């Protein structure tokens, strides 16, 4: 886990989550991308995941990986391999699209992690590399209605969380929230 690598024991995070009444602790699957992770490194992350999942479970909390670059959840294949290897009922994952990959890749990834899906980070970006920027969520209609339709098939309760808002304004947050609510109503039929 990333906090362990940075000398911040998970137990500190767990104590904070308990004090706040948080049901889930979001964790990063290490601090090395899957292409650079050695088999022993992967095993350490898997073992640490099981350890912190057991600690959280003892307190009635779960853990969920951040679906993020620079970690073992940076590709669909690596995220699925990690979740299968950890094989702990108290380990879940958040999901967000990889902006460097096409729609089909992201849909495949979401379907792959669906058994472990807890929440979806919703935002809309466009462009490549340094040209990438945030756009109003409504401009991501084609992608997001499909993502949310897939996510609606998850067996457990899950939420769609607005993670980024174009321009960072309250007005845009309101607009994006209305759009997201419409799409969720359609996806959950």
The percentage of residues in the chain with a pLDDT greater than 70, rounded to a whole number, is 96
Residue in 105, 78, 96, 125 with CA at minimum distance from that of residue 26? 96
33: helix, coil or strand? coil
Based on its alpha-carbon atoms, the radius of gyration of the chain, rounded to whole angstroms, reads: 17
Report the relative pairing of strands 62-65 and 24-27 from DSSP bridges.
parallel
5: pLDDT strictly greater than 80 = no
* Domains, the chain, with CATH or none: 2-187 (3.20.20.150)
Model pLDDT, residue 4: 52
* Tens digits of residue pLDDT in 75-110: 999 999 999 999 999 999 999 999 889 999 999 999
pTM: 0.89
* Mean pLDDT score, 120-128: 87
CA pseudo-torsion sign 109, 114, 115, 116: positive
Model pLDDT, residue 126: 80
């Amino acid at each position: 886990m990333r906090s362990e690598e940075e000398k911040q024991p998970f137990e500190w995070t767990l104590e904070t989550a308990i004090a706040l009444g948080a049901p889930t602790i979001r964790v990063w699957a290490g601090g090395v991308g899957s292409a650079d992770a050695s088999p022993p490194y992967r095993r350490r992350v898997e073992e640490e995941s099981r350890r912190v999942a057991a600690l959280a479970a003892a307190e009635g909390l779960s853990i969920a990986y951040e679906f993020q670059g620079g970690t073992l959840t940076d590709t669909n294949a690596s995220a699925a391999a990690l979740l299968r290897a950890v094989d702990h009922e108290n380990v879940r994952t958040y999901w967000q699209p990889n902006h460097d990959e096409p729609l089909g890749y992201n849909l495949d990834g979401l379907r792959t992690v669906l058994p472990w899906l807890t929440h979806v980070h919703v935002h809309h970006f466009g462009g490549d590399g340094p040209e990438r920027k945030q756009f109003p969520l409504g401009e991501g209609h084609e992608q997001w209605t499909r993502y949310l339709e897939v996510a609606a098939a998850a067996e457990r309760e899950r939420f769609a969380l607005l993670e980024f808002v174009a321009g960072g304004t309250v007005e845009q947050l309101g607009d994006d929230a209305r759009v997201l609510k419409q799409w969720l109503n359609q996806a959950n039929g």
